[in-house]
Every structure is written in C-alpha cells, then in structure tokens.
Amino acid sequence: MSRRAAQGVVGLLILAAALAWVRWGRTPAGPTAETRFLMDTLVTVTLWGAPGPAAEGALAAAFGALAAVDEELARVPGTFLWELNQTGSGPLTPAAAAVLEASLGWARASSGAFDPTVAPLLDLWDVPAGPHPPPHPDRLARAVAAGGWHRVRPGANGGVDLGGAELDFGGIAKGYALDRAAEALRARGVVDYLVNAGGDLVVAGAKGGAPWRVGIQHPREPGAFLRVVTPLAGALVTSGDYERAYEWEGERVHHLLDPRTGRPARGCQSVTVWAPTAIDADALATAVFVLGPAEGLRLVAAEPGAEALVVDADGRLHETPGFGRVAPAAKAR
C-alpha cells in the first residue's frame, strides 16, 4: 500500500476509534423523561444525568411513589379515603395521617380558607361533569354547616373521628405525592430532576449547565406566560380558576371552593406559591386563592420560606418581596 493510502486508512481508523471512544468511553448526560396519566392528570418526570437502566429505575420509583399516594388518598371508590368517608371513623394509614395532620394545621393557620372537609361541596358543584346549573343555595348552606375542619377529632382507639364530615384531599394530596416522588429520586442519587404533575411541580438541580425553566400560565391568555422563572430547589404550585372551569350565566364556575361560603372563590384568577416542600405549597396555594390577595399574601408572609405570586380578580399582579429571589425571572434566550 502506498504511503498516502496508508495515511488515509490510519486517519479513518483514528476517526473511528475516536468516535467509538466518545460513544462508549463516556456516556454523555442528558434528559430522561417519561409521562403517564396519574392522579387524574398528566405527570411528567424529567431527570438529568447519565441515561440508562439507573435513570429508568429512578423514573419507575418516582411514578411508583406517586401512584401509591394516589391509590390511597384519591376520593374514588375503593381507596382508603373513600372507605374512611363511608365509615366516618377509624384508623389512619401513615400517609393519610400525615396528610390529615398537615391539612388541619393549614386549616387552622388559614382560619378555614383551606379545609379538607369540602367533599360534599365538591360533589354538589361537580365541576368535572361540565356546564350545569349551580346547586340550590339551601343545599349549599346545609353542606357548609355539616362540614368544617373542627369536626375532625382523634378517634376513640387512635385513628380519627370525622364527626359527620367527609374528607377530600384534592388541595394537598398532590403536594404530598410530589414530595414522596422527590424523596424516591433523591434516594436513588438523582440530584437534577423536575416532576410536573399537571402544572404542580418539584424541582432540584439543573439541566446540565442551564437551570430548569418554568413558565407560569397566564390565567386569561391560554398560550402566554405571566413570567418564565428559574425556581430554586423546592416546589412550585399554582391554583387557578381557568382549569376545569366553565361559565354559567356570566359567572365563572371552578373547583376552588371557599369552604366558608360553599361557592367558588372569587378573589383571585391565579395563585403561584413557592415553598421548600410541595405539600405546603399545595395547601398554601389553595388557601391563598380563597383568601384573596390581601389576606392571602399576609398568610404567606407569616410562613417562613414560602413566597407567592398572585393575580387578583382584576388581573393585577401582587407578589411577596422574596418571590423574585426563589423564582427569579429567566434571562431571555
């Protein structure tokens, strides 16, 4: 073989070797993600790191954690919560005990704006069924009177006594589930993740060199964002009147009920809360939405570590002073 030919062949061999080394010598980090239907919404778990069986295993663990909470605490026939509501009292599973304790704590702190005993009210409004006439005011008043978080007491032999009320954890269970999923990921050594359960999310680390970018949905313009932020590790939960909502005779009907009046809360269009844990962010977002911008932001200010961004009923933005620190606006790309 001539020298030139030999050079050409050697060059190709070096190229092939270099490519092979890049291919197998080191595994480039990248995103691994999966989306499933869970908790009656679309859940996407995204990790950043070396792809492969370890990443897939971590994803499976995260989804497993979410599913476990959903199977216990969703208010559908067959779950633990459903049975508890039927019997009215009884022992609590660890997850139910944790969520109930947090719920009652937030009910106290928010003076009843957050209240886990709203199940009968939610059934009366039945927002998922689509547009229909609102429930009669008398029925609403009776449901409000029959409920109330103060009725829930410790049970005779441990456990709980609902005192005639019925529990729904819709305003807090997703947060609890997200915290469990994040725990499962961290237990597997994942430090860069974003778990998005239908718009409520926990985030940690970053995507390679760049931070996670989260768009906060504009409550009145479907394609637009209020702001794009790069949140610190923690949870970002948004409550808004635009999901699962419809108009009936000029009034917007949505699922964020004011437990004190029994009607959809009217003080805000959307509330976004950042907190170190998702269970707190979830409950706070629900409470602030019901309380309205003034009282709601006061509640957030009283909670160390929590920050909020509120869009009031007229579309004006209010935020706690620290919101820009925990969820800074993303630099334009």
Minimal distance, residue 42 CB to another protein, in Å: 5
Residue 23 or 153: which CB sits closer to another protein?
23
Stretch binding another protein (CB under 8 A), from 70-78, 155-163, 219-227, 288-296: 219-227
Stretch binding another protein (CB under 8 A), from 36-44, 66-74, 156-164, 177-185: 36-44
Q: What angle do CA 203, 67, 152 make, to 5 degrees?
A: 95
Q: Are strands 200-204 and 225-229 parallel, antiparallel or unpaired?
A: unpaired
Taking CB under 8 A as the rule, does residue 123 contact another protein? no
Reading the block at residue 245, the tokens are: 């909502």
Taking CB under 8 A as the rule, does residue 252 contact another protein? no
Taking CB under 8 A as the rule, does residue 217 contact another protein? yes
Minimal distance, residue 39 CB to another protein, in Å: 10
Question: How many angstroms separate the CA atoms of 194 and 303, rounded?
Answer: 24
Residue 13 or 187: which CB sits closer to another protein?
13
What order of strands is seen across the sheet that includes strand 153-154?
89-90, 160-161, 153-154
Question: How many angstroms separate the CA atoms of 35 and 262, rounded?
Answer: 35
Question: How many angstroms separate the CA atoms of 182 and 186, rounded?
Answer: 6
Stretch binding another protein (CB under 8 A), from 63-71, 83-91, 197-205, 290-298: 197-205
- Residues in 228-247 that interact with another protein by CB under 8 A: 228, 236-238, 240, 242-246
Residue 85 or 230: which CB sits closer to another protein?
230
Question: How many angstroms separate the CA atoms of 294 and 166, rounded?
Answer: 30
Question: How many angstroms separate the CA atoms of 142 and 136, rounded?
Answer: 10
Question: How many angstroms separate the CA atoms of 51 and 69, rounded?
Answer: 27
62 touches 184 (CB < 8 A): yes
Where along the sequence are the contacts to another protein (CB under 8 A)? 1-2, 4-5, 7-9, 12-13, 15-17, 19-20, 22-23, 35, 37, 40-42, 44, 46, 127-131, 194, 196, 198-201, 203, 207, 212-217, 222-223, 225, 228, 236-238, 240, 242-246, 272, 332-333
